[in-house]
Chain A
Amino acid sequence: MFWSVNNLPARGSRELGQIGTTSFVLSSGSASATRSIYVLGKEDVDTDEYDATVIAHEWGHYYQSAFSRDDSPGGSHSTSQRVDRRLAFSEGWGNAWSGIALERGNYTDAVGSAQAQGTNLDLTTGPASAPGWFRESSVHAILWQLNKQGGFKAIHDTLTGAAFKGGVPVTSIHPFAAAYRGVAPGNAALLNGLLTGQGISAAASDPFGNNETNDGGLPSIALPMYRTATIGGGVTTACVSRLFGDDNKHGSYTYLRFSASGAGARTFTVGGPAGSDPDLVVYGGGELGASDAVGTTETASVALPAGEFVLAINDFANSSDNTCFNVTIN
């Protein structure tokens, strides 16, 4: 935990207190991962040391990282935004956990002169409009209510169980819901009602969200939630968008799933239009590899065992509202 009266919301050197904002940081080293929480402390600007919900939120990220699985790309976000599915789940969980841990229904964060301004966020409900799997407040409302009405054990068992931690889909509300039904079948009706209330598919046994119909305003990009690619099967087209913002927003990533019948090196090639800069991440029960070279074509070779995997692709340049990539796996 790193806190100082000099920690303020500026980019730059952490040693000078320029920590960006209060955040959880996972640093991967050669020996082991290091998990840290940085906390703002600049009086009359932004202090968080007395904002218990903010601290609990960051501890929620620690919990998910250390005891569960978190594929979130991180980065800037807001409850008013539509964001990537992994980010929505991670931040929604953090919000919900702050309420669960502190036994309260709101999230507060003081800023400004005398710490008299800030945020008061209702954890018990989702967004006033456009709810869905791409909204962190939809996720926090579901998890907060699930704890209130169904207890925490089932949530904990789901987050730490093999189905969610080791599943093929990236971490989001759909694989959580599928795993939760397996852990607590008696709470399925409760969960389904909460999902439906937030505009999220309540189809049973659907960790990939194949039955999802809420595209969040990106009909040709966001659905299906995973496109199918075939090793040696030619080109798959997948598109991303910056319509809802850059880097980690709804539409920033596109997801492909593919199967490998045997172990071997697989070569991924993602070609984009001029001005784009595709990057990729390969998942199989967690992140297995990533490549983020500069240019309109990304090529990476990854040795994979037999099994099913997910390929996530984004445009680092955030070049347009409809950037399409040609993807091959060989």
Chain B
Amino acid sequence: MISVPVRKTMLAFAALGVAAVSLPALADGPHATRAQVPAPLKSSRDRRMILAPQKPNGSGIVVRYRLDATPQAGKAVPVELSLERVTGSDATVRFEGGSGLRLDVGRVPRPLEAGRDAALTVDVVPDRTGISYLHVFTTQDGITSVASIPVQVGKADASLPGVGQLKPSSDGDKILSIPVK
């Protein structure tokens, strides 16, 4: 897969020996890159849903989600889910909670009806401050994919892992090791 390229909301010109440009949008100043903003759904009900990552060559089921409440430790928060592009007769969804997250659903796969979008709500209970994940496994046509939905309690940790040192290997390659956070 290729990540969606970061693009300015105004003219952005590659070099390629071609001189460019007038920049009529510059008067508005630079904008945030739209490509980074998850596309909203069309209906008002789903307008704020976030498109989850989709694995290339994966199940093909599109997962969108929304958290309507601010997660708090020890309190249930509903995760609204929309599952789209369900075409296979064997399609299922299954949920798992990562470290620090309890679910109100079991790990048994739930069948999805081919040809219909599914709207589901999963209550999750974070047990501590910090970030935890609801893992959504979708299977279709014998292929399984997973998307992880972050559930953040408290302020997000903005600190970065410490940067390691660039070290030469025995065959001359240079390797930058970044400590796991």
Which residue of chain A has its CB nearest to the CB of B40? A317
User: What are 16 contact pairs spanning A and B, CB under 8 A?
Assistant: A11-B150, A13-B156, A16-B157, A17-B181, A18-B148, A21-B55, A27-B5, A45-B133, A61-B1, A74-B5, A76-B53, A80-B87, A94-B56, A287-B14, A289-B20, A305-B18
Of B75-83, B110-118, B136-144, the stretch lying at the interface with chain A is: B136-144
Q: Of all chain A residues, which has the CB nearest B28?
A: A293
B169 at the interface (CB under 8 A from A): no
Q: Tell yes or no: A135 within 8 A of B by CB.
A: no
Q: Which of A109-117, A178-186, A207-215, A219-227 contacts B (4 or more CB under 8 A)?
A: A109-117
Interface centre among A57, A72, A293, A304 (most CB of B within 10 A): A293
A28 beta carbon closer than 8 Å to chain B: yes
A318→B150 contact, CB < 8 A = no
Give the secondary structure class of B's interface.
Answer: loop
**Min distance, Cβ A147 to any Cβ of chain B, angstroms:** 19
Chain A residues with a Cβ under 8 A of chain B: 4-6, 8-13, 15-18, 20-28, 38, 42, 45-46, 57-58, 61, 70, 72-81, 90-91, 94-95, 107, 109, 111-113, 117-121, 245-247, 265, 284-294, 299-305, 316, 318-319
A290 and B150 form a contact (CB under 8 A): no
- A105-B19 Cα distance, complex, nearest whole Å: 45
With A9-B146, A111-B145 given, is the CB distance from A24 to B3 under 8 Å?
yes
Contacts beyond the supplied A15-B160, A16-B181, A79-B57: 9 A-B pairs with Cβ under 8 Å: A9-B146, A9-B148, A11-B52, A23-B1, A45-B135, A76-B62, A118-B144, A120-B143, A288-B20
User: What's the nearest-Cβ distance from chain B to residue A251, in Å?
Assistant: 15
Q: Is the CB of B98 within 8 A of A20?
A: no
Give B59 Cβ to nearest chain A Cβ, in Å: 7
B25: chain A residues at CB < 8 Å are 291, 293
Chain B residues positioned under 8 Å from A81 (CB to CB) = 60, 85
A247 engages B1 (CB within 8 Å)? no
Say how far A127's CB is from chain B's closest CB, in angstroms: 11
Complex Cα–Cα for A45 and B135 (A): 7
- A77 lies within 8 A of B54 (CB): yes
Q: B158-180, CB under 8 A of A: which get 1 and which 0?
A: 00110000000000000000101
- Min CB distance, B47 to chain A, in Å? 12
User: If the complex has contacts A77-B54, A118-B143, are A8 and B148 also in contact, measured as CB distance less than 8 A?
Assistant: yes
